[in-house]
Structure 1
Amino acid sequence: MPTVSVITAAYGPSAHHLAETARGVRAQQLPPGWSLEWVVQEDGERPVLADALGAQAEYGHNGTRLGIAATRNLALARATGALVQNLDHDDVLLPHALATLIRRFEEHPIHWAVGAADDLLEDGARRSWDSAMPFGLLPAGDVNRWAERHGGNWPVHGGGLMVRADTLRAIGGWTGIPVDDDLAALVAVSELTDGWNDPTVTWLYRKHPAQTTRNSHYPGLEDTGRRIALQRAKALRNAGLALTAAPSFDGGGTDVRVGPNIKPAPTG
């Protein structure tokens, strides 16, 4: 039975909407034959979310403040799914979200997919957006070329990315930068592989005063993540790299075994 792993990096002081995020995960209506695991990794020195999540999530914590990219990657190390769905701790998956995108992987030899997102406003209202890219198959490189023509602004959102787990691991997981790590990961997979832009609204992007994009812990880096993403896209293109489609849902990292560390002890 193939598994989809929903990965959430959480941080206690700003996880005010985690209960609603959890309800969205529980409400998922999966295609026949699929299973779901929710892998939550909590950042910070003082973990506080374990009791609130209970048995509904595969929970782990960092024990120190590492930032969102490292926290996502630690969750990825524990994930067993063939597909990975990113989900921020304040966003909401609609009940049909995973089923909608999983079917695209079953129907097409793609490595990644995104559904449309509505903004979820503070008063509970939703605001929709028109897609800047055509719906359906997006050939490798098209998303980044659009961004290059539009000042480093991307037409799809990395926050709602579903991706083959092996592909995500092959590019190094979420990019190890303090801002826009999800964007830089999207840039890599979309430059190297074909993907899918689905017209179905599959998730809600919550807009609120405490969200990370409004309260950066790294002032002065507002444009740095987008610059790194553009540089990454051009570097991948110049290197002539590409990935072929993976036709099955085998794997997911569960066959990896790590033995004792045999590095010699330092001398002197």
Structure 2
Amino acid sequence: FLAALARKPKFSILVPVYQTPAKELSEMIASVKGQIYDDWELCIADDASPQPHVREILERAARSEPRIKLEFRKENGNISAASNSALALATGDFLVLLDHDDVLAPHALAMLADAINRHPQADVFYSDEDKLDAKGRRYGAYFKPDWNPELLYGQNFLSHLGVYRASLVRELGGFRLGFEGSQDYDLALRATAVTMGPVVHLPHVLYHWRVYPGATTFSSTQIERAVDAARRAIQEQLAGLGIEASVGDAGYNCHRVIRASPAKWPRVSIVATLRKDPELLADFLQGLHEKTDYPDMEVVVIDSSASARRLPTEMLKKRGVRVVRNSNPVGLARTVNEAVRRTSGEIILFLESDVLAADPGWLKEMVLLARQPGTGAVGAKLRSADGKTWFGGTVLGLNQLAGPISGMSAAAPGYFGKLLLTQEMSCVSGACMTVARAAFDAVGGFDESKLAPSFTDIDFCLRLRRAGYRIMWTPNARLHRRKADIPATSSSSNPTQVDNPTQVDLEIAHMRERWGQMLERDPFWNPNLSLDSNAAMSSPPRVSRPWQKTR
């Protein structure tokens, strides 16, 4: 495997050291010396540690291994300054960031070398990670999504293991002083903003993050400092991109970008689908007009139940509601497309009539995201009538074809806090979805040919992604479903209205024929996670190492 690599990059492993316990420091060094890939140098900068064992261990290691380079700083300057001292020692092609008490997997550099050969234009690489307890036991693996720039504003998923092209880091000026505790996060934000290559994810646990009594990384003071530095770094990054926003708390030491309101909110054309339960329509319209803080809305109701005929004419007139009849549920996509053509808003909101607002600012949140350049569709967080998450995004390949992240308490943070964070996803639910009109028109609206309502939202989102648009999901637009009997485990994010299992099977076959392997590998759902349930580990794994037979 290693002999076959066309290019063998040199790695400079940067380690700022301060007061590291002897055992953990020695194990960090041993994990580097134990790499199966041998073109590396370990660049260690000690930040004036007062305890003599630190220098003794480092000098002993350097005497026995010429690839270990040392810098003993005369004064303590904190982690950013020490990291820059380590950077000054580096002569490698790529920089590997390693904390002074953490451990690399023995195949970490080998897998990075393979990834660099497969992605020669890439400047930034990152891997999955887990934790080590005081007894050396591994736990808490974080199986991360592929590159997700919006999620990076919410949490630093690039560090551990983060790897950067050395020339890029030097062009950026190295590690910035004043961002201690999140200096790696700040670097990740700056590097990914300027790189012209892909940001490459290695879906393998290559980094073991040490957690032990007395570890300063997890002290409340250090966490507060890191969170403050992270939010300042995010704020500066957004300002540099011309995005007017503030950065707040999303919970669990994560971050929320609060985008500024436009001078004038664009018109939103709401296309609401009513299939049954006519009594829902009155509450639905009342919720839109009295419980939604938005200045410019028009509403078109698609009636598949004839219920609108029983509503008082004056109510429809007062609300400015137009009604479009649809007598064939299988042909609903055609009716929806026709309804869109009758509207004028810059933003289109597709909404089912049993979905009601849970907070007044939900629509503004969705519109702010829908107006971002490159965004095609935006989904919301939907709560079921029993207080659980009904929709927290769609996972391709889950439950045969695609399924929702669902079933946990609506207040739960989700897998590594992801239910708290705005992020890119492959698909969102048509039960509540905003779409920029330009994007809707660019892909020709919903498919009118073979699909019944079951999978139209999935197909639509995949066509948006194929056209280069991003699909966003936000937990900051919160709504709830009034009905309690809608399944959260449907094979679609928009539960099927077709009761005939044979018809559903035909639709699944059609979707597989159309989208092929895209349905088997969701870039935002790690291949180490199961496709049978939410965030359980896949057994057997759906990913292989380069020297193993491809699964």
TM score, norm. by length of structure 2: 0.38
CA distance in 2, matches of 1:147, 1:64: 33
Given the alignment of the two structures, is residue 102 of structure 1 paired with residue 102 of structure 2, yes or no?
A: no
Moved more, 119-128 or 158-167: 119-128
Q: What's 2:186 paired with?
A: 184
* Post-superposition offset of 1:130: 4.2
Q: What pairs up with 1:34-53 in 2 under 5 angstroms? A: 35-44=39-48, 46=50, 48-49=54-55, 50-53=58-61
Given the alignment of the two structures, is residue 82 of structure 1 paired with residue 93 of structure 2, yes or no?
A: yes
Q: Could you say what secondary structure the match of 1:84 adopts?
A: strand
Amino acid at match of 1:114: Y
Q: What's 2:235 paired with?
A: 231
RCO (CA 8 Å, sep 6+): is it higher in 1 or 2? 1
User: Do the aligned residues in 2 keep the contact of 1:7 with 1:38 (CA within 8 Å)?
Assistant: yes
Q: What's 2:141 paired with?
A: 129
* Post-superposition offset of 1:215: 3.6
* Post-superposition offset of 1:53: 2.5
- Ranges in structure 2 where 5+ consecutive residues have no aligned partner: 1-7, 244-551
Q: Could you say what secondary structure the match of 1:158 adopts?
A: coil
User: Do the aligned residues in 1 keep the contact of 2:175 with 2:187 (CA within 8 Å)?
Assistant: yes
* Post-superposition offset of 1:102: 2.0
- Ranges in structure 1 where 5+ consecutive residues have no aligned partner: 240-268
Q: What's 2:27 paired with?
A: 20
User: Do the aligned residues in 1 keep the contact of 2:128 with 2:203 (CA within 8 Å)?
Assistant: yes
User: Do the aligned residues in 2 keep the contact of 1:101 with 1:115 (CA within 8 Å)?
Assistant: no
- List per-residue Cα deviations over 1:91-117 (Å, max 9, x = no partner): 101110011112212211110111111
The partner residue of 1:10 within 17, 38, 45 is 17
User: Do the aligned residues in 1 keep the contact of 2:20 with 2:101 (CA within 8 Å)?
Assistant: no
Q: What pairs up with 1:145-164 in 2 under 5 angstroms? A: 145-148=150-153, 152-154=154-156, 156-164=157-165
CA distance in 2, matches of 1:209, 1:235: 39
Q: What's 2:124 paired with?
A: 112
The partner residue of 2:208 within 185, 204, 225 is 204
* Post-superposition offset of 1:219: 8.4
CA distance in 1, matches of 2:95, 2:205: 18
- Give the number of equivalent residue pairs: 225
* Cα-Cα RMSD: 2.3
Say if 1:121 and 1:157 are closer, same or farther in 2 by CA, change over 3 A. farther
User: Do the aligned residues in 1 keep the contact of 2:180 with 2:226 (CA within 8 Å)?
Assistant: no
Q: What pairs up with 1:31-70 in 2 under 5 angstroms? A: 35-44=39-48, 46=50, 48-49=54-55, 50-55=58-63, 56=65, 57-70=68-81
* Post-superposition offset of 1:125: 1.7
User: Do the aligned residues in 2 keep the contact of 1:180 with 1:226 (CA within 8 Å)?
Assistant: yes
Amino acid at match of 2:134: E
The alignment-based identity, stated in percent, is 26
* Post-superposition offset of 1:211: 2.5
* Post-superposition offset of 1:89: 0.8
CA distance in 2, matches of 1:216, 1:52: 34
* Post-superposition offset of 1:216: 6.8
Q: Could you say what secondary structure the match of 1:210 adopts?
A: coil
Moved more, 186-195 or 112-121: 186-195
TM score, norm. by length of structure 1: 0.76
